[in-house]
Amino acid sequence: MRVTIFGTGYVGLVTGTCFAEMGNHVTCVDVDARKVERLRAGEVPIYESGLEELVEENVHGHRLFFTTSAKEALAEAELAFICVGTPMSETGEADLRYVESAARDIGRHLNGYCLVVDKSTVPVGTADKVRGWVQEELTRRGATHTFNVASNPEFLKEGSAVDDFMKPDRVVVGVDSERARALLHDLYQPFIRNGLRFYTMDIRSAEMTKYAANAMLATKISFINEIANICERVGADVRQVRLGVGADQRIGLQFLHPGVGYGGSCFPKDVRALVHTAEVAGYQADLLSAVDAVNQRQKQVMLHKLNAWCTLTNRPLSSLTVAVWGLAFKPNTDDVRDAPSLDLIRAVIAAGAQVRAYDPKATHEAQKALGPLPRLTYVDDAYDATEGADVLLLMTEWRPFRRPDFRKLASQLRGKVIFDGRNQYDESRTSPYGLTLYPIGVPARASQAQTIKG
């Protein structure tokens, strides 16, 4: 099939590449000429496992193309996917300026029937706006081409997006015509051969499904973080509690991982956008507002623990050198948007401390996001960060961090302290080397400070 993708960001590039991998002729449009040139050369501007190899293979196989010309991309398109960003505005609502721009480009250059598909995460009712924008441009140039608009939300996890797309647990499409349903079913057939994971619904329900899914996952994260903070204060161990809770098949263990809060491009934005959508509809979404509030508070937990340790040991924070392992908001990605690590680094630097930071993939993105900061050093090796540091703060659970050399860390860290923001370690592994461990949601031993709580 002939497919056009508007936007070569995270969603657009993965979507276009995976469609091309199944033999479709895919043309991706982006306004950034430099980015288009890099992609034509097989260079991928984001880190996503397996994506660069697929882009290179499909570019060389003449199935995947990149251009800055919407007219060129739409010349023979049967489907046009809108995969542009929908950043959060100051009011919490999704900013649809890029969606509108793509829709108007489609209206200006459409030369026959085409199914226009919203894949960007957009508020309920956006498809109606897209239909209006496309029609306005068609009317302006006196064209009478027919088109349909559909919703096809993405459910990709950063770090495993290619696998998620190639082997989806479900495909959701919102349509208002049989023609649109048939086109999307045909396109996705290679991905869902058993036919059991293709869900057809009305357009507004499909738009809502994406927000509801992300809000549910964010809720589980904030819930277990709330439980973790209670555990610390009542003498319970959240690591044991989550096992007992997660054993219930109605609940499960997925996303019940206490830590320093969620980040990324989806959960923070989508939860707030859904709260705003509810407000516009005359409903106060108290639960979702609380999910966001708990997450914002959780991002401060590590700083509170560090300050409490400084008080206990009579060391001013400004005198410390702090090693930070992990800058990305989660492992297997270079995405630092809304990453808890960035809030922590800003706060520690503002307090006068030195910071030595390491991440396997996200250093460049963190440098762009944080800008020039005094007393902040990025290093190329995890143990370069801890050499001569007072404490280590684990912020992202990258695999190489899961079983570090604790003997080496004990010799490097002057304070012999690890603040484990992702609950990756166990005292049985750290204490033999004289290292003190402060996880999330675990009460301090009698030999530690009972005040070191999130």
Report the run of H or E that residue 72 belongs to, with start and end.
helix 70-73
One of 28, 83, 114, 266 is an active-site residue; which one?
266
Check if 266 is active-site: yes
Q: How far apart are CA 278 and CA 159, in angstroms?
A: 31
| Amino acid identity for residue 28 in this structure | C
Mark residue 423 as left, alpha or beta (left: phi above 0; alpha: psi -120 to 50; beta: remaining). Answer: left
What is the C-alpha to C-alpha distance for residues 20 and 25, in angstroms, rounded to an integer? 6
Q: What is the DSSP letter of 402?
A: T
Closest to 13 in 3D by CA, of 33, 27, 32: 27
Residue 287 burial by CB count (10 A; 0-12/13-18/19+): exposed, middle or buried? exposed
What are the DSSP calls for 228-291, one per residue? HHHHHHHT--HHHHHHHHHTSTTT-STT---SS---SSSHHHHHHHHHHHHHHTT---HHHHHH
CB atoms within 10 A of CB 301: 25
CB 273 within 8 A of CB 454: no
Q: Where are the beta strands (DSSP E) in 135-194?
A: 147-151, 171-174
Q: How many C-beta atoms surround the C-beta of residue 355 within 10 A?
A: 23
How many Å is the maximal CA-CA distance in the chain?
79
Q: Tokens standing for 146?
A: 């027919």
| Angle between helix 286-298 and 267-280 (nearest 10) | 150
Active-site positions read 266
